[in-house]
Amino acid sequence: MAEHPETIVVLDFGSQYNQLIARRVREAHVYCELIPWDAPAERVLALEPAGFILSGGPASVYAPGAPTLPAYVLASGKPVLGICYGMQALTHALGGRVAPAAAREYGHAELYIDAPDSPLFAGISSPTRVWMSHGDRIERPPAGFRVLAHTANAPIAAMGDDERRLYGLQFHPEVHHTAEGKAIFHNFLFRICGLHGLWRPENFIAESIAQIRQRVGQERAICAVSGGVDSTVAATLVSRAIGDQLTCIFVDHGLHRQGEVEENMEAFRRHIQAPTILVDARERFLRALAGVTDPEEKRRVIGREFIRVFEEEARKLGRVRYLVQGTIYPDVIESSGAGSGATARIKSHHNVGALPSDMDFELIEPLRMLFKDEVRQVGEALGLPASLVHRQPCPGPALAVRIIGEVTEEKLAILRAADAIVTSEIEAANLGPDKPWQYFAVLTSVRSVGVMGDGRTYQYLVAVRAVSSVDGMTADWSRLPYDLLARISSRIVNEVPGVNRVVYDISSKPPATIEWE
């Protein structure tokens, strides 16, 4: 039986935009999961999907080993929307013809609707601006399909079989460059699939509490809390479900930002009903990180040490079966990739790809299928204060992944001081709606020559990072005012020993990530 009464399955064929497809569906209050195209049919059909969306991808349908459309998709009789490669895979499976385009088409295009009566294009302007990114195109649609729209370079930019509810788009409706992309998704979900938009924070909370109670029974659980919104919401949710069977553990690993330990413990006391234990593990983590410079190894070390601390603390409490974590969907996607070989692993998150295989606990991750903004919505529905729900994100490994190279006490002291200046200046600037989603300092491994007073210096370079984002899957660098950047730079160089140069990171995600490591 499916957990959610309305579920859309997005099959991942390797597109760089596939997470955005999931976002657009969730924004319409419809639950969806992003699943590898070659996942077992049993796994997919167990979700009882109301429809399928086929993502784009970099391959050609004629390339050796190219992803193919699973047989269960068409056999299900459910509506299908193929996007770019997904449209080509649908065409290929149904006997149409896919061929290389005369030239790869990338960028804006004007879409002209040829079938305004199609439910997929109800209420859509003609022409309307769309975003193209493809090398192959449809030369002949499958039997039963009609051409729904065209562009100057794509005679079949959209096709559909209204009777079987099968549709294909050569362009990408999920990206913001497609002007009416959300409306096209809305048409597919509600006009074609007949859904009602039942995916709401309140429904999620009720479902999660019931599932957690059923799973945990009379067993005990501990929850790893960091002070971030993810772990705080997870702790609150599980606390509502099992009450005093839960104990929260906050590990002071010595890698936190300035004043963060004290602030977090006060927040836990005020807002989380379960008791919270503070564990001083600063020396332990620094010893484990000594000599470690590779970012993936840092994450593995930190993930391992977290689990060992939790195991030791759990033994003091008696028999503890479950460990609760604030893992969210972007962590899962970046750590393991959504598809088998289709979507690449970006980095291991300490709570996903870096956990030791021999740990004593079974995991409970109630937020595992949520994006960051959805976690915030759940936090608000749980009644958590805005100061917690909208706190800027910070990775679990904290400053360890904002120090390039080995982590030492000296570097931590430098970075804490620099980061505190960045935070205080941006928060004092009262930027309103232009305030960045996340902002911090990075201590690089670069040293450069400088002049202070009458003497030569050879000191560290600090990078300042500030980005705007909704869910962390994509991000753009924030256009901070020049005078604000000047104050930040001046204060860091003058107030933080060991730093003589400051730069501002103007990279977006992608191609960069938000964190440097």
- CA 356-360-361 angle, to 5 degrees, is 95
Residue among 4, 134, 150, 172 flagged as catalytic = 172
Which DSSP letter does residue 262 get? H
**Contacting residues for 198 by C-beta, under 8 A, at least 6 apart:** 4, 5, 6, 29, 30, 31
Strand ranges for 4-157 from DSSP E: 7-12, 31-36, 51-54, 80-83, 97-113, 128-140, 146-150
Helix (H) or strand (E) holding 477: strand 476-477
Between strands 166-169 and 128-140, the pairing is unpaired
> Dihedrals φ, ψ of 215, to 5°?
-75, -45
Within 10 angstroms of residue 324's Cβ, the number of other Cβ atoms is 31
Is 172 a catalytic site residue? yes
Within 10 angstroms of residue 110's Cβ, the number of other Cβ atoms is 13
Within 10 angstroms of residue 483's Cβ, the number of other Cβ atoms is 9
Residue among 4, 33, 84, 425 flagged as catalytic = 84
* Alpha-helix residue ranges (DSSP H) falling in 34-99: 41-45, 71-75, 85-93
Cα distances (angstroms) measured from residue 209 to each of 26, 222, 446, 447, 471: 21, 16, 49, 51, 24
329, amino acid identity? Y
Strand partners, 11: 35, 54
Residue among 6, 33, 105, 174 flagged as catalytic = 174
Q: Could you tell me what percentage of the chain is helix, strand and coil, using 3-state DSSP and rounding each to the nearest 5?
A: 35, 25, 40
Q: Which residues are catalytic?
A: 84, 172, 174
